[in-house]
Amino acid sequence: MSDLLGPAASTSPPPGTIDLDPALVPAHAYDVYLSVEAVQQQLRRSRASVYRYANTHPEILNPPFDPQKLNPEVRSDRDAPLQFHVREVRRFAQDVLGLALTLAVQPSEETTTHELLRAVLTELQSIRQLLETTPPRNVSPKIVEIAVGDRGYCRRYITMQPPAEESASLA
Residues 142 and 93 in one domain: no
Residue 11: its pLDDT value, please? 45
Dist CA 60 CA 62 (whole Å) = 6
* Mean pLDDT confidence for 44-52: 92
| Domain contains 86 | yes
Residues 96 and 16 in one domain: yes
Dist CA 128 CA 6 (whole Å) = 35
Dist CA 48 CA 71 (whole Å) = 15
Residues 149 and 95 in one domain: no
In angstroms, what CA-CA distances link 12 with 19, 42, 44?
Answer: 8, 12, 11
Domain closes at, from 103, 123, 150: 103
pLDDT tens digits for range 115-166: 888 999 999 999 989 888 877 666 665 655 566 656 665 555 666 666 566 5
Please tell me which residue, 36 or 106, carries the higher pLDDT value: 36
The domain total for the chain is 2
> Which residue range forms the structural domain that includes residue 156?
137-171
